[in-house]
Structure 1
Amino acid sequence: MKIKATLDRIPGGMMVVPLLIAAVLNTFAPDLLRIGNFTEALFVNGSSTLIALFLLCTGAQINVRSFGVSVGKGATLLATKWAVGAIFGLVAYMFAGDNGLWFGLAPIAIIAAMTNSNGGLFVALVGQYGSKEDRAAYSLLALNDGPFLTMVALSVFGAMGFVDGMFSFVSFISVLLPILVGMVLGNLDEEMRDFFDKGSSMLIPFFAFALGMGIDFRAIVEGGLSGIILGILTVFVTGSAGYFVFKALKWNPIVGAAEGSTAGNAVATPAAIAAANVSFAAFTDIATVQVAASTVTTAILLPLYVGFLVKRLEKKGYTFDQGNMTKVDV
């Protein structure tokens, strides 16, 4: 059976499919895997430990020795993506209804989805339309993997009075520390970075399944359409913001647009945030589902949007030769 090949053909499949399977099991047969010992520890209660290990593996991929133009481009993308997601999240908190949602969207889901990006999709798109410097910018973009930037935004909103208090320093460090440990190990030893890189991919379906065992299927039905809307917003708002910022800086704007996605690992962010601040626990289920729907939506829609932008530029006389965008004199 070609299980992995099948999952790879589905956008975000390695994350979304196990999560949805577990959610169905939890809805219709909630006690099937709740039989104690290793089975329950891994498949039901293991999400926190598995996410922590995943964050450590992700941290090991952050290369602090990257400098130059690539870092400048990566930092610009990182800042643009975070600013847009944070602003939308702030608006959502300001105008949320009595149920804590804004047009059916959980503010924490908006921030998690819009500040995070699919690194694999970015590399694939930039590999086709960007230069080596553009591709190297990804080393800095690893910072938006996981809950760190979402926590930064929520901490700012806490200081402004829009969320229930700021995170305590200890809670913040307890979530951040696995990333820092991985970052130190990965930068001290390239072989350790390669070792942890293999682990990060393997852990995704396992913590996704454990997260799914905490979701009722009714939450998927409730959050599905709004999650698709969140994905559309992520592509057209954050992707367009990156496009115009890069265009203003006279860089290849397609590279900026390539950040308009939501990564599969962002599905774990609401749970990580709830671990740091219990006041977000009530929104974990619906936020997780909405981020998962955004992951699939952006994986399908972003390449189409980038293709449209490329065609638009080509009609204006630009060409993409070996990743370099140049204007053809007519």
Structure 2
Amino acid sequence: MKIKAAMDRIPGGMMVIPLLLAALINTFAPDLLRIGNFTQALFVDGSSTLIALFLLCAGAQINLRSFGVSLAKGGTLLFVKWFVGGAVGLLAYAFAGPDGLWFGLAPLAIIAAMTNSNGGLYMAIVGQYGDKEDKAAYSLLALNDGPFLTMVALSIFGAMGFVEGLFSLQSFISVLLPILVGMLLGNLDSDMRQFLSKGSDMLIPFFAFALGMSIDFGKIVEGGLSGILLGVMTVVLTGTAGYLVFKAFGWNPIVGAAEGSTAGNAVATPAAIAAANASFAKVSALATVQVAASTVTTALLLPLFVAFLVKAPWKRNKQ
């Protein structure tokens, strides 16, 4: 049975198929693999550990002489993601109706969802379509985890004052450290670099499955059409912006599109914002379910969007 060959025929199949399979299991039989010990550790709770190991293996492939390119790519993605999310959020505030909503969306939900990205999805896509510099760019992308950049956008709009304590340097270092350890090993010993190079591709389907075990299709229903709309906007607007900017710089544009998602941790952002400023309390609950729906929608839609970009139908038409 040619399982791998069949998965390889689907763009991003080594990531998409395990993720969707796990999401189906989590939605309809959530306790099937939550039986403790090694099974649960690998298939349910293992995403963070597996991604950390993936980052270490990827870091070992980085030559210190080219690390500046990774920082440039990471910084560019971080800014593009934040700028597009903030701009759409500002538009939503400017044209919101009497109920404070724009097309049924809470502006807070828009900013929280669109300025945040799913690092696991990014690494899975880049693991298949990118190179070692693209993988190392994730060290900067960790900055958009949590409510920090959402607060920055809101403070710029004058919607609220800047609140300290929402960015943790320790959290940022904890993401960066596996990459740095890998870089150290790979640059000190070429044999270690070669040994660890085998780990990156192998880990992708395993952490993709674990990521899928955090996806519940029911969240799409709970968030309603507005939450699905938010997910579609996040993929199309931020993904396309990243694609075009990377293409303009002469980088792999697929890597730019890989940031077009919403991470699960963004679901907690509306509550964190409301805790910092009580004026957001009235929209916090609605924003939370909309962000949750965006998280699920982008996890399903982004790999398909990337597959569409990889096929590049407009390029074939020019030939």
Q: TM-score range by the shorter chain?
A: 0.5 to 0.7
> TM-score, with normalisation over the residues of structure 2?
0.65
Return the letter of the residue paired with 1:166.
Answer: G
Distance 2:300 2:141 in 1: 21
Distance 2:174 2:244 in 1: 37
Return the letter of the residue paired with 1:257.
Answer: A
TM-superposed deviation, 1:183: 4.0
Would the alpha carbon gap of residues 109 and 241 (structure 1) be closer, same or farther in structure 2, given more than 3 Å must change?
same
Would the alpha carbon gap of residues 71 and 13 (structure 1) be closer, same or farther in structure 2, given more than 3 Å must change?
farther
> TM-score, with normalisation over the residues of structure 1?
0.63
Q: Does 1:144 align with 2:144?
A: yes
Return the letter of the residue paired with 1:174.
Answer: G
Question: Over residues 29-73 of structure 1, what are the superposed CA-to-partner deviations in whole Å (9 max), with x where a residue is unaligned?
Answer: xxxxxxxxxxxxxxxxxxxxxxxxx9xxx9xx9x9x995000100
Which 5+ residue runs of structure 2 have no aligned equivalent? Answer: 1-17, 32-47, 182-206
TM-superposed deviation, 1:175: 2.9
Which residue, 169, 175, 188 being the options, matches 2:166?
175
Distance 2:73 2:275 in 1: 33
Which 5+ residue runs of structure 1 have no aligned equivalent? Answer: 19-53, 194-200, 209-216, 318-329
Q: Given that residues 230 and 294 in structure 1 are in contact (C-alpha distance below 8 angstroms), is that contact kept between their aligned partners in structure 2?
A: yes
Distance 2:90 2:25 in 1: 27
Return the letter of the residue paired with 1:298.
Answer: T
Return the letter of the residue paired with 1:175.
Answer: L
Question: Over residues 64-107 of structure 1, what are the superposed CA-to-partner deviations in whole Å (9 max), with x where a residue is unaligned?
Answer: x9950001000000000000000000000011111111110000
* 1:10 alignment partner in structure 2: 23
Structure 2 counterparts to residues 1-330 of structure 1, below 5 A: 9-10=22-23, 67-158=67-158, 163=159, 165-167=160-162, 172-176=163-167, 179-183=168-172, 223-312=223-312, 316=316
* 1:38 alignment partner in structure 2: none
Q: Given that residues 7 and 13 in structure 1 are in contact (C-alpha distance below 8 angstroms), is that contact kept between their aligned partners in structure 2?
A: no
What is the count of residue pairs matched by the alignment? 239
Would the alpha carbon gap of residues 125 and 10 (structure 1) be closer, same or farther in structure 2, given more than 3 Å must change?
same
TM-superposed deviation, 1:278: 1.1
TM-superposed deviation, 1:184: 5.9
TM-superposed deviation, 1:284: 0.8
Distance 1:249 1:307 in 2: 21
Q: Given that residues 115 and 149 in structure 1 are in contact (C-alpha distance below 8 angstroms), is that contact kept between their aligned partners in structure 2?
A: yes
Return the letter of the residue paired with 1:10.
Answer: A
Q: Given that residues 118 and 259 in structure 2 are in contact (C-alpha distance below 8 angstroms), is that contact kept between their aligned partners in structure 1?
A: yes
Q: Given that residues 220 and 292 in structure 2 are in contact (C-alpha distance below 8 angstroms), is that contact kept between their aligned partners in structure 1?
A: no
Distance 1:306 1:262 in 2: 15
Distance 1:156 1:247 in 2: 29
Give the root-mean-square deviation of aligned CA atoms. 3.7
The list of structure 1 runs, each at least 4 consecutive aligned residues, that deviate by more than 3 angstroms after superposition, is 5-8, 11-14, 181-187, 219-223, 313-317
SS across alignment from 1:260: coil
Question: Over residues 215-240 of structure 1, what are the superposed CA-to-partner deviations in whole Å (9 max), with x where a residue is unaligned?
Answer: xx9x9867421000000001111000
Would the alpha carbon gap of residues 308 and 190 (structure 1) be closer, same or farther in structure 2, given more than 3 Å must change?
closer
Distance 2:113 2:259 in 1: 12
Return the letter of the residue paired with 1:98.
Answer: P
SS across alignment from 1:104: coil
TM-superposed deviation, 1:174: 3.3
Would the alpha carbon gap of residues 310 and 120 (structure 1) be closer, same or farther in structure 2, given more than 3 Å must change?
same
Q: Given that residues 147 and 266 in structure 2 are in contact (C-alpha distance below 8 angstroms), is that contact kept between their aligned partners in structure 1?
A: yes
Q: Given that residues 263 and 295 in structure 1 are in contact (C-alpha distance below 8 angstroms), is that contact kept between their aligned partners in structure 2?
A: yes
Amino-acid identity (%): 64
Question: Over residues 141-166 of structure 1, what are the superposed CA-to-partner deviations in whole Å (9 max), with x where a residue is unaligned?
Answer: 010111110000001011xxxx2x42
Distance 1:249 1:12 in 2: 41
Distance 1:12 1:290 in 2: 22
Would the alpha carbon gap of residues 294 and 244 (structure 1) be closer, same or farther in structure 2, given more than 3 Å must change?
same
Return the letter of the residue paired with 1:68.
Answer: G
Distance 1:251 1:283 in 2: 39
Return the letter of the residue paired with 1:9.
Answer: A
